[in-house]
Amino acid sequence: MSLSRYVAAVTAAFAFSHAAFAADAKIPVVAAENFYGDVVQQLGGDRVDVTSILSNPDQDPHLFEASPKTARALQHASLVVYNGADYDPWMAKLLAASKGAKHTTIVAAELTGKKSGDNPHLWYDPATMPKVARAVNEVLVAADPAHKSAYDANLVKFLDSLKPVQAKAAELHDRYAGTPVTATEPVFGYMSDAIGLSMRNMRFQMAAMNDTEASASDIAAFERDLREKRVRVLIYNSQATEALTKRMLKLAQQSNVPTVSVTETEPAGNTYQTWMLSQLDALGAALAKGDASSTKAAAGVKGKTQ
């Protein structure tokens, strides 16, 4: 569905139910993942009451199972935001089971044209959050038109605050596009693509994400990349820590391949923006280290031409 048609449908749904909001009542929102919850909070300010389901950066979200507590939180929500693309299949099930309740839903995968089988870590794509933010803004304005100017100001501020993240990704692109890297899981995949890094060992990463067994040859290829330093950096998902991914982390450390730890849930004390920026900073530092250790000869050539 196009964004405008999607928003029209959402607006129609709210025209039906928005009279339910008293002037002082906050709009109850449930976000499946805490970074979407954070963005709704930034856009809605004190007009929204946000509950995020996945908020623990020490758990593997791919293994999450909804509890009765999750279902209860959904009952009172007017707006539900979730990722889709099979990242949170429990959410679609819960929504289908709560047919009586009037929810407006925003699904990041629908806004970005992604489906089941695509890399589901959509919030690492710099193009995703502006789309989600615009859709959230439309819903908030439709639900509570008296505060339109405040919601619109919040949207402008939010979109503006993403600029340092986009600038950092562009800076890394200028410097490191084409650089070979690898990762234990495709969590950072879209950001890596935006930077233009050459991502290796995709089959291994998909197996780690889906909790299936990587083939012996995929494991051997991953180990060879680390041992022979064919990759400049290992991006390590600290939320998907199987024995095998831990082994790869250890091998990278032994082989002096710089590692960057990333999470798929926003850590406490961060905003979406600070979280993305701190991980890009860490990646930049790791790439610079890998740069110095593996291309001394190239640096020598550069030095002569200066």
List interacting residues with Zn ion (CB under 5 A): 187, 264
3-state secondary structure string, 50-75? EEEEECCCCCCHHHCCCCHHHHHHHH
Residue whose CB is less far from Zn ion, 7 or 260: 260
Residue whose CB is less far from Zn ion, 59 or 215: 59
Instruction: Answer for the pair 30, 7: CB distance below 8 angstroms, yes or no.
Output: no
CB of 115 to Zn ion, least distance (A): 17
CB of 39 to Zn ion, least distance (A): 19
| 170-179 own/partner pairs: CB under 8 Å, 24+ apart | 171/284, 172/280, 172/283, 172/284, 172/287, 175/287, 176/232, 176/287, 179/232, 179/233, 179/287, 179/290
Residue whose CB is less far from Zn ion, 14 or 272: 272
Q: Give the C-alpha separation, 279 to 41, whole Å.
A: 22
CB of 190 to Zn ion, least distance (A): 12
Residue whose CB is less far from Zn ion, 78 or 192: 192
Residue whose CB is less far from Zn ion, 38 or 88: 88
CB of 2 to Zn ion, least distance (A): 28
Q: Give the C-alpha separation, 273 to 276, whole Å.
A: 5
CB of 48 to Zn ion, least distance (A): 27
Phi and psi angles of residue 163, each rounded to the nearest 5 degrees, phi first: -60, -40
